Copies of this chain bind each other. A is one copy, B any other.
Amino acid sequence: MPTVTLEDARRVIAAAEKKADEIGQPMNIAVVDSGGNLVAHVRQDGAWIGSVNISINKAWTSRAFDITTKDLGDNSQPTQQFFGIHTTNGGKVAIFAGGIPLSRDGEVVGAVGVSGGSGEQDHSVAEAGAAAF
């Protein structure tokens, strides 16, 4: 069995889409598995095209470091311990809110990444998605 099945990813995305609809902000939503590889992505009608890669990168980042991109961002500001991490890994590291790890039995097995609104909106939509995992 894969760590995050396509069915899992669709459930996470559906919950995230519902939240995005509620707050009225179209979003890009991506889910990756334990290896950081994409399982599924959707761009809601009207969502920013520049956010396609950002949603995928946020999901990758959250799995790659087992942390929300919001918390990673706090540690990646100038003078903080991880400042500069955003230019590693070929530009795949996202350091602003919207990526959240997906855990099963206390272990991170994947992640969801959301991009299309404010940092607060992206994070809340990702939370709604993660809660459905």
Q: Tell me the nearest residue of chain B to A38, going by C-beta.
A: B52
Contact status B65-A48, CB under 8 Å: yes
Q: Chain B residues near A91 (CB, 8 Å)?
A: 87-91
CA distance A39 to B52 in the complex (A): 8
Contact status B43-A37, CB under 8 Å: yes
A120 → chain B closest CB, angstroms: 7
Whether A25 is near chain B, meaning CB under 8 Å from some CB there, is no
Contact status A39-B50, CB under 8 Å: no
Pick the contact of A87 from B33, B77, B87 — CB < 8 Å?
B87
Q: Tell me the nearest residue of chain B to A120, going by C-beta.
A: B81
> With contacts A34-B35, A82-B119 known, is A53 near B96, CB below 8 A?
no
A125 → chain B closest CB, angstroms: 14
Contact status A65-B50, CB under 8 Å: yes
23 A-B pairs with CB atoms under 8 Å apart are A33-B35, A34-B34, A35-B36, A35-B37, A36-B37, A37-B43, A37-B49, A37-B52, A38-B41, A48-B66, A49-B64, A51-B64, A54-B89, A57-B88, A77-B79, A77-B83, A81-B97, A82-B96, A83-B95, A84-B95, A85-B96, A87-B87, A88-B94
